[in-house]
Structure 1
Amino acid sequence: MFDVIIAGGGAAGFYGAIQMAEHNPHLSIAILERGKTVLTKVKISGGGRCNVTQGEFSARELVSGYPRGEKELLGPFHRHGPADVVSFFEEKGVPLKIESDGRVFPKSNSSQTIIDCFLSETDRLGIQVICNSSVQNFRKNRESDSWELNTVNKKYAAKNLLLCTGSNSRIWKILKEMGHTIVPPVPSLFTFNIKDDRIDGIQGISVNAKVEVLPKKIFASEINVKLKSAKNRATVLEAEGPILITHWGLSGPAILKLSAWGARVLNAYKYQFRIKVNWVPEYSTESFEGLLRKVKEVEPKKTVSRSHVVDIPQRLWGKLILAAGINKASRWAEITNAQLQHLSKELTQCVFRVDGKSTFKEEFVTAGGVDLSEINFKTFESKLHPGLFFAGEIINVDGITGGYNFQNAWTGAFFAAKAIAERES
């Protein structure tokens, strides 16, 4: 019989185990990991560097990065946020750095530094780490007031159970049978698959742009997400930021934000929809057409393809010129009004058809999980089952890319650990 069993040997599981052992050194704690090794997601995070958290220390600003969980996480982030996580690691000999885009990494630029820290601390604190122990089922024994777990090879019992199992359909199924509401999971943080001559062969180009998902008429009752409303009251998703042209379509921060905020809508669209890109977001179609007319007037003899009208990569400019029906050898004096209008639309209202999605690097994130109304966010304990706690992606919280999802894991694990440690003191 353990005081605590933690199901899931990932970021939340290890952080929670260490926190509760430090709060109460007398606790007997075990981490059950279904795989052969622990912390696999930490290992590959951030391209192997581990994006530990987000360098936004204002809780009110931080929660704006969570499409689901914004309201619920505000209080917890005020009490244990990125600054506390940074202190935790640096006090344990892992110096961190905040990069220009706000992402926080170990100064070693290696996720192994984080893994070594966790393994060293669990060993120091006497926390048992048991691999190859996939949880098959669990139940509350009312007579002994303990949790009984069956793994693939052994039975365990504990006074408290902390679930850090991420997007695990088996665990969600058990919780649903126990009376919890499980919000159906859908992918979040993905890139858009697009085949289009305008971006073919120019992969690697990054442009600050505005991108909008165009509304689509479908008959799906599951779409009940409140989004920005256009004048015609159609559902609109939009974001502005860097867009990266890739071999398979479009990626980058602006696209990933759309995929996160529109996770349920785009799932209902079956990932078949259209987007509109404004490559020069400081201009409207009309104002950009006015700029082009001015260029034509001032530089009539200059070749259109060689002009630096706006600050976008020359290869993209060349592609959009061709799309507007303009020959690369054409001079501005030769361009018709119709061609000017067409080019202006290509720069400010460039419509692409999205046909499917791709996972963003190693970021396997889902929207969905245990319904937030069934969780006490002061302790991250189940409101239905005392002694049952949650942390990480198992609950219906997900963040945009940039350390937000790890921060959700750290914060939830901290409060669950604190509650358990105090209960068993």
Structure 2
Amino acid sequence: MSSLNIIVIGGGAAGFFGAITAAETYPNATVTLLEKNRTVLNKVRISGGGRCNVTHACFDNRQLVKFYPRGEKPLRALLTQFDTTATVKWFEQRGVSLKTEADGRMFPESNTSDTIVDCLLTTARRSGIQVRTSCGVASIRQSASAQWLVDLLTNETIVADRLLIATGGYPQLTSYDWLPAQSEPLSAPVPSLFTFNVPDSYLIPLAGVAVPDAKVYVLGTKQEQRGPVLVTHWGFSGPAVLRLSAWAARELADKNYNFTLRINWTPDLNDNTLRNKLQDFRQQNGRKQVVSQNPFGLPSRLWQAFATEAGISDSQRWADLPAKLLNRLSERVINSQFQVSGKTTFKDEFVTCGGISLDGLNPQTLESKSQPGVYFAGEVLDIDGITGGFNFQNAWTTGYVAGLNIGK
């Protein structure tokens, strides 16, 4: 098929991976990648603090899919075609070695995202892909000969035999209006991976204090997560909070991001075991001041804030601590409650829950069932993972699958 014209819309991770796979699989095809911004691979460039968290060192696909609040089932089938092992091998074959950090995140050994960006750009160039920037798409329509007409915002129209749409997530349904008419069913997009705003929190002066292991809950739901929690200038962040925001994305959107957050700062203890531990500590440290003696290994500033909030003075000794204040203190430790009003989304790290429903696509190829010749990959799909490299793995996997099948 020497005359096959493939157009990829979206110059991010999934778009590049799909374009490269298509160009390498179908060397006679012409592959053009369109990006509306002036630069490509912007998310790759800034992710992971500029280091690019390429994937996660989870090589058992049955375990890997558990890190995706949406998309577990379709990913199971797709990962049989391209999984984490394949990702590591793909980059190594192109001269990029990855390293695994203690928490399982995988980064380039160079410790800079430039390595990944350069690898993708170089591979695309070698594969003969034409990359066009500042090329926003206004609409897509089908011609009488069943080809696709891609109308650009510059008033130019490009003809394509096959389309790969990899534009990333959109914040609202109207953002998808440029897609072909009679398009696939959409799952309404809402934000995922965001931090919680608690403007009235008495902990805000402690911004920067982190607890390595806490449990966070959304009261009134079954949603809970455990892990590091960070106190911020606006409320709470950290892996446990971000994971909670992902798994509870739809419920929190329904609540308009106004809800009660409960935090257990000592998740291995329940109400009874915590009170017993406090009583034992009081007996053994009776002469010591409560604010300076912390039985749980919590950050000292956090402990002092709990004591102050419970009404305990700086001079109060453990031996003289009334039961009422002891109960208040234990409540702050195991059952802190904060009124969340709003979220903070880091625009560059934005992840969407929702998008193109997988029900409307061939589960093995990611081709539209209703519009043959149109493929989808990346975050535009209703697949999203928690932090840790899982969203990039989705981009590599779906980009590869779409690119592999687009020329058939």
- Fold similarity call, TM over 0.5: yes
Structure 1 contact 187–367 (Cα < 8 Å) conserved? yes
Aligned to 1:317: 303
- What does 1:238-317 align with in structure 2 at a 5 Å threshold? 238-317=224-303
User: Pick from 128, 131, 148: which aligns with 1:129?
Assistant: 131
Deviations 1:10-46 (A, max 9, x none): 1111111111222221111000111111111111111
Pairwise CA distance, 1:176: 7.2
Q: Structure 1: which amino acid aligns with 2:301? A: R
**One-letter amino acid of the counterpart of residue 87, structure 1:** K
Unaligned runs of 5+ in 1: 216-234
Segments of 5+ residues of structure 2 without an aligned counterpart are none
After TM superposition, give the deviation of residue 75 of structure 1 in Å.
1.6
Distance 2:98 2:308 in 1: 47
Instruction: Name 1:355's counterpart in structure 2.
Output: 341
Distance 1:284 1:420 in 2: 54
Aligned pair partner of 2:210 in 206, 211, 214: 206
Q: Flag the 1:34–1:360 CA change in 2: closer, same or farther, 3 A.
A: closer
Q: Deviations over 1:111-154 (max 9, x none)?
A: 1111111111111111111111111111222x423111111221
RMSD: 1.5
Q: Is the Cα contact below 8 Å between 2:54 and 2:389 reproduced in 1?
A: yes
1:75 corresponds, among 69, 74, 77, to 77
Q: In the alignment, is the contact (CA less than 8 A) between 1:198 and 1:316 conserved in 2?
A: no
CA distance in 2, matches of 1:261, 1:360: 18
C-alpha distance after superposition, 1:319-348 (max 9, x if no partner): 001111111211111101111111111100
Structure 2 residue aligned with 1:379 = 365
Q: Structure 2: how far apart are the matches of 1:16 and 1:179?
A: 20
**From 62, 84, 87, the counterpart of 1:85:** 87
SS where residue 380 of structure 2 aligns? coil
Amino acid at match of 1:212: Y
Match of 2:36 in 1: 34
Of 399, 409, 416, 2:395 maps to 409
Residue 177 of structure 1: how far off its partner (Å): 3.3
Does the aligned pair in 1 maintain the 2:81–2:401 contact within 8 Å? no
* Alpha-carbon distance in structure 2 between the residues aligned to 1:184 and 1:155: 29
CA contact (8 A) 1:391 1:413 kept: yes
Tell whether 2:334 aligns with 1:334: no
Give CA deviations for 1:64-94 in whole Å, capped at 9, x if unaligned.
1111101110121133111111111111011
Query: How far apart in 2 are the matches of 1:361 and 1:10?
Result: 15
- Is residue 2:199 matched to residue 1:195? yes
Count of residues in Structure 1 that have an aligned counterpart in Structure 2: 402
Contact 2:201 2:235 in 1 (8 A): no
Aligned 8 A contact 1:242 1:252 in 2 = yes
What SS is found at the alignment partner of 1:275?
Answer: strand
**Displacement, 1:257?**
0.8
CA distance in 1 between partners of 2:278 and 2:174 (Å): 59
Alignment partners' CA distance in 1, 2:196 and 2:105: 23
Query: Moved runs in structure 1, 4+ residues, more than 3 A?
Result: 168-171, 174-177
Contact 2:70–2:384 (CA<8 Å) still a contact in 1?
yes
| 1:404 partner amino acid | F
Question: 1:158 is matched with which residue?
Answer: 160
Distance between the aligned counterparts of 1:95 and 1:409, measured in 2?
19
Counterparts of 1:211-250 in structure 2 under 5 Å?
A: 211-215=216-220, 235-250=221-236
Give 1:52-67 correspondences, 5 Å limit.
Answer: 52-67=54-69
SS in structure 2 at match of 1:79: coil
Question: What is the identity, as a one-letter code, of the residue corresponding to 1:418?
Answer: L
- Assess if the C-alpha contact under 8 Å between 2:59 and 2:84 holds in 1: yes
Whole-Å separation in 1 of the counterparts to 2:183 and 2:348: 33
Query: Distance between the aligned counterparts of 2:150 and 2:347, measured in 1?
Result: 34
Paired with 1:382 and 1:269, the residues of 2 have a C-alpha distance of 33
Distance in 1 (CA, whole Å) between partners of 2:55 and 2:289 is 48
3-state SS of the aligned residue for 2:406?
helix
CA contact (8 A) 1:176 1:182 kept: no
**Which residue in 2 is equivalent to 1:219?**
none
Residue 40 of structure 1 aligns to which amino acid in structure 2?
N
CA distance in 1, matches of 2:280, 2:180: 64
TM (norm. structure 2) is: 0.95
Change beyond 3 A, Cα 1:391–1:357: same
Between 153-162 and 173-182, report the one with greater CA deviation.
Answer: 173-182
Deviations 1:196-251 (A, max 9, x none): 45312211111110111012xxxxxxxxxxxxxxxxxxx32111110011111100
**Residue matched to 1:184:** 188
SS for the counterpart of 1:310 is coil
Distance in 1, Cα, partners of 2:163 & 2:53? 27
Instruction: Give the deviation of 1:304 after TM superposition.
Output: 1.1
Alpha carbons of structure 1 residues 197 and 175: separation in structure 2 relative to 1, 3 Å: closer
1:395 and 2:387 are equivalent in the alignment: no
Structure 1 SS opposite 2:177: helix
Residue 53 (structure 2) aligned to one of 47, 51, 54: 51
Task: Give the Cα separation in 1 of the matches to 2:290 and 2:202.
Answer: 17
Alpha-carbon distance in structure 2 between the residues aligned to 1:399 and 1:197: 29
**Equivalent position of 1:226 in the other structure:** none
Distance 1:348 1:273 in 2: 18
Find the residue that maps to 2:378 and give its secondary structure: coil
TM, length-normalised to structure 1? 0.91
Alignment match, 2:148:
147
**Could you say which residue in structure 1 is the equivalent of 2:177?**
173
Further displaced range: 269-278 or 190-199: 190-199
> Structure 1 residue 195: deviation in Å?
2.8
Instruction: Find the residue that maps to 1:198 and give its secondary structure.
Output: coil
Q: 1:361 to 1:344 in 2, by over 3 A?
A: farther
